[in-house]
Structure 1
């Protein structure tokens, strides 16, 4: 590549020609702000990294097919779309998993099996301490304070899909812990 700090337009041009150096320069230039954006939405390092991997893999694989006018706009729109798709895939499972969890607890647990209700509350509290801070906060607002998803989203400046993702994530963690709790009693 000719310039030490090429413009986005130059990087796009070289990327289309299969220049791995241009791809690396784009990656280095945009990875951190894209990661910050995705992490803010999901609160999960692993999920954010996976989404960025998919984004950059797609960029490289489709380098000669995509028409990019503004690289930063293209990348942020693409990563937002991938994040929303990821969240939506988690949301589709949420209601089913909530139903499963509640059904399993109601059907399989008799009041005498719980033993001390304080033990169950402590188990739930332990799980909440293990959750990422944002996930635990959203769980508290949703399930304990019974705040609607829309209001949580407005309060925390998140999309409704992001809030629903965190609720799903918290329910998964709780379900796993409750299974262990039930198996110990």
Structure 2
């Protein structure tokens, strides 16, 4: 059996392009962790970083016959990860800009269309979960999140103790986190 650890990048790519799965495994073993750390350093998010690296390797595996490197393998992989990171930043900026502008217009030919549709779906899902809250919890949550009132102001307006308001807010956040899942909940918190 061949020892692929002794092959350089050029030899591995040649073998990989010819369909040698063991060459791909060696490429993955060499670059998976460094690419993940690179992505994590840029994004600060473990799941997004892992997904990006997996996407790059999946694309490479699915396109091995047509892969045409104009640079070194490591340069290609890092550049691919960086491009995906830019796409993540672009996506987040599109969502933020769309939410800030309050736009309801979608250009069908735009590259941003898919992102905007997803953002609208997420917003609708969040609104449904807020509407499903018990009335008292929903009122407290809406005063806090939509009118930006403090717990003290909410307690004065509703005539309840401030500790009750704080308890309702904690329950509302727990409800949203449970119903929406952690990822959507965090996106919602960051963008609100």
Query: What SS class does the counterpart of residue 83 from structure 2 fall into?
Result: helix
Structure 1 gaps, min length 5: 128-168, 177-185
Q: Structure 2 matches for 1:72-111, cutoff 5 A?
A: 72-98=74-100, 108-109=146-147
Q: Give the deviation of 1:19 after TM superposition.
A: 1.0
Q: Tell me which residue corresponds to 2:30.
A: 29
Q: What is the CA–CA distance in structure 1 between the aligned matches of 2:35 and 2:52, rounded to whole Å?
A: 10
1:137 equivalent in structure 2: none
Relative to structure 1, the CA distance from residue 109 to residue 61 in structure 2 (aligned partners, 3 Å threshold; closer, same or farther) is same
Q: Report if aligned partners of 1:15, 1:22 keep a CA contact under 8 Å in 2.
A: yes
Whole-angstrom distance in 2 between the partners of 1:63 and 1:174: 38
- The alignment partner of 1:64 has SS state of coil
State the 1:111 CA deviation: 5.0
**2:54 counterpart residue number:** 53
TM-score, with structure 1 as normaliser: 0.57
Answer yes or no: is 1:173 the counterpart of 2:180.
no
| Paired position in structure 1 for 2:154 | 115
Contact 2:143 2:154 in 1 (8 A): no
Deviation at 1:3, TM superposition (A): 3.8
Shift of 1:99: 5.4
**How far apart, CA to CA, are the structure 1 residues paired with 2:188 and 2:64?**
37
Give the superposition deviation at 1:170. Answer: 6.5
How far 1:64 moved relative to its partner? 1.1
Question: How far off its partner does 1:95 sit?
Answer: 2.2
After TM superposition, the score normalised by the length of structure 2 is 0.55
C-alpha distance 93-2 of structure 1, shift in aligned 2 (>3 A): same
Q: What displacement does 1:174 show?
A: 4.9
Alpha-carbon contact 1:17-1:64 (below 8 Å) kept: yes
Higher relative CO (CA 8 A, sep ≥ 6), structure 1 or 2? Answer: 1
Q: Greater CA radius of gyration, 1 or 2?
A: 2
